[in-house]
Structure 1
Amino acid sequence: MYSIHLQQTLPQVFADRDAILSDVWHQDIAFHKEKHYLIEAASGTGKSSLCSYIYGYRYDYQGLINFDDRNIRSLSTDEWVDIRKHSLSILFQELRVFPELTAFENVQLKNQLTNYKKKKEILALFEALGMADKMNEQTARLSFGQQQRVAFIRSLCQPFDFIFLDEPVSHLDDGNGTVMGNLLTEEAGRQGAGVIVTSIGKHLQLHYDSILKL
């Protein structure tokens, strides 16, 4: 996948609004591999909806979303499975970790599906993010910021053409945010991938090729 192309895309719930002032909604805009994008959004402007649309589990929008030249509405279940395994990674705002599993088990669950990272690489990520001593803790016992780091490590345990991170540093201190940014830049650079980050305030410190207002 080389591009994610939105054409006049708009959440259906916004359809009756008189005016939409956005760099994304109701525009013709494409995200490209190897580029870094920051989408700044105020609360209630559809940030989480955008994530849901691109990841393909909500379709309550007008307009088109294409992966390259393919309308994502036409993708089969098997095609979505392949895309989510090989082309598109996501860090959800609500994280979606399994609370009964340990931090390491949450990450390994993903890695067992992709066989992308060696165990020593995963351990190095936990170490870099100051989570080595929390690997065997149930995620239910971790703070939200610690869970964010677990979900971030999990998102790197697959090949991807694009990685979508929804408010990835909302509960992180600046030091861990910097480490996360460095790890993300390194992994995305290795894969030649595009990076799309959303924020309603505090955002991941990266070199962004484009900053958009939702």
Structure 2
Amino acid sequence: MIEVRNLVKNIASSHRQNAQKNGIAIIDNLELLIEQGQSASVQGASGCGKTTLLHLLSGLDHPCAGTLIVAKHAIHNYDETRLDYFRRHTIGIVFQQFHLLESLNVEDNIAFTARLAGNLDPHHINNLMQQLGIADMRNQRVTKLSGGEQQRVAIARALAHKPRVVFADEPTGNLDEHTSSAVSELLFSTCRALNTTLLLVTHSNDVAALADDAYHMTSGQLTKITPSLQKS
């Protein structure tokens, strides 16, 4: 599960260097609760703090105040060593920029995190590649792939070690409409099958509507979207 209480993250203004005390709050006393195995989507204007929220929840950034509990890990209290272990064994991340390893082929990129976590399941990885339509590319270098194909590799990698929580930042942003729909449904269905909690940031109303709960982010806080508003 994900539990966030009174979360604050400040960024420095041009006139203030100490963001911890005097900066502008991009996350302002934010609250969020997602039960284990459930999914939630976050939408909002560019620059409103959506990606910052994912970075805080994945331990890639540090809060100024508040409580962050992810899969029973109180990561707001963790040092870098414990955060590294947490990221390796507990969560999967789909980045906007992919962060694939250019020296490795598709299959080795997907398996990389699972190997680090000691949870390599070749059958599971093969199923992911088949479902995402990249099995025929398994031996290709990722530098030879299109942006959409690289995105599918990144999604498979995030799911390869069967994480308890997945964070996805615009996971279908580089895909065409048809592929986006298929990949989104796979992402949600795989997380449900693994009882994995999913939190994703998206600009797509269709993708957001697949989540159990949908939120809009503004003024550093989250507001739950009702189903009628979500589909409008």
Instruction: Bin the TM-score by the shorter chain.
Output: 0.7 to 0.9
Deviation of residue 80 (structure 1)? 1.9
Aligned alpha-carbon RMSD (Å): 2.6
- Is the alpha carbon distance of 1:104 and 1:146 closer, same or farther for their aligned partners in structure 2, counting shifts above 3 Å? same
Deviation of residue 205 (structure 1)? 5.9
- 2:201 is matched with which residue? 198
- 1:57 is matched with which residue? 60
Cα deviation, 1:83-133, whole Å, max 9, x if unaligned, reads: 223322111111110122211121122221234353233222222222122
Cα deviation, 1:173-206, whole Å, max 9, x if unaligned, reads: 2332233233323322233221111013466366
Which one has more relative contact order, counting CA pairs under 8 Å at least 6 apart?
Answer: 1
Cα deviation, 1:48-105, whole Å, max 9, x if unaligned, reads: 222221111222x432132167642321334223322332211111111012221112
- 1:12 is matched with which residue? 11
Q: Which runs of 5+ in 1 are unaligned?
A: none
- Structure 1, 88-97 or 202-211: larger mean CA deviation: 202-211
- Structure 1, 99-108 or 196-205: larger mean CA deviation: 196-205
1:119 to 112, 116, 122: 122
Deviation of residue 37 (structure 1)? 0.7
Q: Which runs of 5+ in 2 are unaligned?
A: 14-21, 218-232
**Does the 8 Å contact 1:177/1:205 carry over to 2?**
no
Tell me the TM-score normalised to structure 1 length. 0.83
Tell me the TM-score normalised to structure 2 length. 0.77
- Is the alpha carbon distance of 1:54 and 1:63 closer, same or farther for their aligned partners in structure 2, counting shifts above 3 Å? same
- Is the alpha carbon distance of 1:149 and 1:206 closer, same or farther for their aligned partners in structure 2, counting shifts above 3 Å? farther
- 2:167 is matched with which residue? 164
- 2:107 is matched with which residue? 104
CA distance in 1, matches of 2:33, 2:208: 22
**Does the 8 Å contact 2:59/2:87 carry over to 1?**
no
CA distance in 1, matches of 2:159, 2:73: 25
**Does the 8 Å contact 1:181/1:206 carry over to 2?**
no
**Does the 8 Å contact 1:169/1:202 carry over to 2?**
no
- Is the alpha carbon distance of 1:3 and 1:49 closer, same or farther for their aligned partners in structure 2, counting shifts above 3 Å? closer
1:189 to 178, 192, 202: 192
CA distance in 1, matches of 2:96, 2:123: 27
Matched, 1:152 2:155: yes
- Is the alpha carbon distance of 1:123 and 1:159 closer, same or farther for their aligned partners in structure 2, counting shifts above 3 Å? closer
